[in-house]
């Protein structure tokens, strides 16, 4: 998912020990998330401020790699050491709710969400009709393109539809004498999300959800969805890209464009240095005039089994309140430092300078305009995405047509949805 996520053994949760019992004098709140200690610096500083303002309260941070999040929670739950506060990746929310891991927010937190947060992002924390946490980091997708490669290929404006992407990619792509792609007109990435999230965005632009609201059927066999996958396969067949080309090659000038999330700003800026502003362009999802994009979020929730639930929600509310008139919240300060996006309207208003640069502003505008769409959070989301990536790759590699790949994905996902 993110390059900056560090690997952490799930033993970190076990070694933390059980929380202290709630008392009027002392309470220890354990906050688990995937961020490194360095990335957490602004938030841990706020933890110390909170402790000073609330004598007897201690806040401890535990880092858990995103890839280990579910098994780590399962292990710590069995050991009785489940953290009080969980920074939940929204695509895992359905599974956590199904297993009764998360507590419902109190009324004052729900009121805060209605008043201060972008509604579409609040929906990212909804499972089974209920909200389960406070949105923190928001990720949504746009078309990221190399302005220099576009200029060299004679392309004056970024493509606005999927056929335009294929045409532009063919103009940009280069191969060596052995036919290997040296410069990809378009690139994907190695993770499941690098295939499934762009597909969602392109399907949303065609008015299609991946899974219907009844959570029993998919729209993958719809001709509009098949056309998207056929176009992806054409990129490979025409040598506009290859399995060896990744979006990570963008900074080295070997990728013309990709559909990527806003959190990539830091990685691209670090890779390009002073050339960042002259190289990187951001444009709407190439889905036509009614384009939409896919968004997900990380949201802060409280463990249902926490003996410190009331104190945990009190801390979370404080962390998401502005730290003065016209100032960001503690969470907002951390996200801005990371180059990430907050769904807190106050944070956005207080971050005009940080969020108005040519890279970030299109993402902010997409969020504020309602073009960013979340998907229904299901218990089976992880399994669905794994199946989808596998079948998409079959089309990419020419082993299946787009129609056959999507038909197979539809059958396998429908079976998953039908499981009790």
The per-residue pLDDT for range 41-70, each reduced to its tens digit, is: 999 999 999 999 999 999 999 999 988 898
| Residue entry with tokens 């990685």 | 267
Q: Quote the pLDDT of residue 184.
A: 98
7 — pLDDT class (breaks 50, 70, 90) = very low
Q: Quote the pLDDT of residue 272.
A: 96
* 359-388 average pLDDT score: 93
Residues 186-224 pLDDT 10s: 999 999 999 999 999 999 999 999 998 888 999 999 999
Question: Pairing between strand 257-261 and 134-146?
Answer: antiparallel
Question: In this structure, what is the dihedral angle of CA atoms 63, 340, 131, 12, given to the nearest 10 degrees?
Answer: 0
C-alpha to C-alpha distance for 393 and 317, rounded to whole angstroms: 43
**CA diameter of the chain:** 74
Lowest mean pLDDT among 8-17, 71-80, 284-293, 382-391: 8-17
Number of H helices, E strands in the chain: 19, 13
CA of residue 385 relative to chain centroid, distance: 13
Asked if the model's pLDDT at residue 18 lies above 90, the reply is no
C-beta separation of 58 from 25 below 8 A: no
Question: Got the DSSP string for 199-251?
Answer: HHHHHHHTT--SB-TTSS-BSTTSHHHHHHHHHHHHHHHTTS--TT-BGGGGG
C-beta separation of 117 from 231 below 8 A: no
C-alpha to C-alpha distance for 281 and 146, rounded to whole angstroms: 6
Q: What is the share, in percent, of the chain residues with pLDDT greater than 90?
A: 88
C-alpha to C-alpha distance for 334 and 313, rounded to whole angstroms: 19
C-beta separation of 65 from 4 below 8 A: no
Residues 108-143 pLDDT 10s: 999 999 999 999 999 999 999 999 999 999 999 999
Burial of 22 (0-12, 13-18, 19+ CB in 10 A): middle
Q: What token pair was written down for 137?
A: 């980091």
Asked if the model's pLDDT at residue 16 lies above 70, the reply is no
Question: In this structure, what is the dihedral angle of CA atoms 100, 213, 108, 103, given to the nearest 10 degrees?
Answer: 0
Asked if the model's pLDDT at residue 414 lies above 70, the reply is yes
Q: How many CB atoms lie within 10 A of CB 242?
A: 18
C-alpha to C-alpha distance for 246 and 194, rounded to whole angstroms: 10
Instruction: List, in order, residues 6 or more apart from 71 with CB less than 8 Å away.
Output: 10
C-alpha to C-alpha distance for 168 and 132, rounded to whole angstroms: 42
User: φ and ψ at 320, to 5 degrees?
Assistant: -105, 5
Burial of 404 (0-12, 13-18, 19+ CB in 10 A): middle
User: φ and ψ at 301, to 5 degrees?
Assistant: -130, 170
Asked if the model's pLDDT at residue 413 lies above 90, the reply is yes
C-alpha to C-alpha distance for 93 and 144, rounded to whole angstroms: 28
Rg (CA), the chain: 22
């Amino acid at each position: 998912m993110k390059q900056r996520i560090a690997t952490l053994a799930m033993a970190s949760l076990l070694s933390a020990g059980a929380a202290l019992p709630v008392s009027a004098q002392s309470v220890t709140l354990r906050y688990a998330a995937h961020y490194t200690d360095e990335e957490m610096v602004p938030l841990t500083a706020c933890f110390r401020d909170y402790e000073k303002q609330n004598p007897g309260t201690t806040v401890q941070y535990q880092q858990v790699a995103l890839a280990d999040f579910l098994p780590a929670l399962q292990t710590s739950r069995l050991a009785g050491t489940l953290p009080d506060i969980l920074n939940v990746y929204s695509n895992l929310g359905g599974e956590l709710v199904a297993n009764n891991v998360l507590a419902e927010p109190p009324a004052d937190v729900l009121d805060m969400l209605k008043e201060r947060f972008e509604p579409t992002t609040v929906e990212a924390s909804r499972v089974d009709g209920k909200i389960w946490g406070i949105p923190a980091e928001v990720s949504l997708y746009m078309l990221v393109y190399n302005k220099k490669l576009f200029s060299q290929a004679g392309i004056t404006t970024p493509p606005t539809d999927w056929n335009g992407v294929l045409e532009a990619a063919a103009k940009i792509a280069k191969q060596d004498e052995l036919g290997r792609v040296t410069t990809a007109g378009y690139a994907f990435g190695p993770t499941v999300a690098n295939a499934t999230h762009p597909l969602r965005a392109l399907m949303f632009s065609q008015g299609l959800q991946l899974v219907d609201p009844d959570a029993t059927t998919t729209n993958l066999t719809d001709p509009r969805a098949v056309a998207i996958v056929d176009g992806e396969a054409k990129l490979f067949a025409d040598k506009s890209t290859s399995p060896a080309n990744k979006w990570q090659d963008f900074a080295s000038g070997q990728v013309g464009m990709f559909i990527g999330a806003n959190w990539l700003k830091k990685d691209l800026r670090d890779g390009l240095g002073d050339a960042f502003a002259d190289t990187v362009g951001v444009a709407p999802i190439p889905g036509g005039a009614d384009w939409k994009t896919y968004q997900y979020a990380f949201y802060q929730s409280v463990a249902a089994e926490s003996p410190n639930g009331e104190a945990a929600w009190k801390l979370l509310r404080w962390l998401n309140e502005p730290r003065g008139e016209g100032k960001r919240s503690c969470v907002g300060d951390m996200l801005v430092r990371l180059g990430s996006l907050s769904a807190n309207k106050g944070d956005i208003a207080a971050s005009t300078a940080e969020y108005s640069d040519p890279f970030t502003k299109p993402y902010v505008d997409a969020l504020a305009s309602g073009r960013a769409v979340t998907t229904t959070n299901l218990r089976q989301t992880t399994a669905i995405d794994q199946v989808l990536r596998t079948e998409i790759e079959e089309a990419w590699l020419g082993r299946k047509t787009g129609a056959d790949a999507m038909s197979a994905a539809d059958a396998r996902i429908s079976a998953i949805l039908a499981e009790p």
